[in-house]
Amino acid sequence: MYLEIITPDKKVFQGEVDSATFPGTKGSFQVLNNHAPLISTLAQGKVTYVSKAEGTHTLQVDGGVVEVLNNKISVLAERIIE
């Protein structure tokens, strides 16, 4: 599954992942391969993704939107909190 994380300033990550977890405004949720299509708003919180090549990574986002469609996850984050 392909994940792309973008902020208004830059592209933060793009690449293949095995799973991703998001801080939805109605609660945290995880996306795995062949997940049903969805669009959700994101609250402030941790985005975690796992790839075989790079292991587990966690980013703190300050809200945004995520779209899942045909094994592609697009995250439009307000900003990454460092």
Average pLDDT (50-77) is: 95
Percent of the chain with pLDDT over 70: 100
For domain 2-81, the CATH architecture is Sandwich (2.60)
Average pLDDT (23-29) is: 97
Average pLDDT (49-72) is: 95
Q: Which residues contact 74 (CB under 8 A, 6 or more apart)?
A: 4, 6, 66, 67
Where are the domains positioned within the chain? Answer: 2-81
Residue 52 has pLDDT above 90, yes or no: no
Q: Which residues contact 55 (CB under 8 A, 6 or more apart)?
A: none
Distance CA 67, CA 20 (A): 12
* pLDDT (tens digit per residue) in 28-38: 999 999 999 99
Our measurement of the distance from residue 17's CA atom to the centroid of its chain's CA atoms, rounded to an integer in Å, reads 10
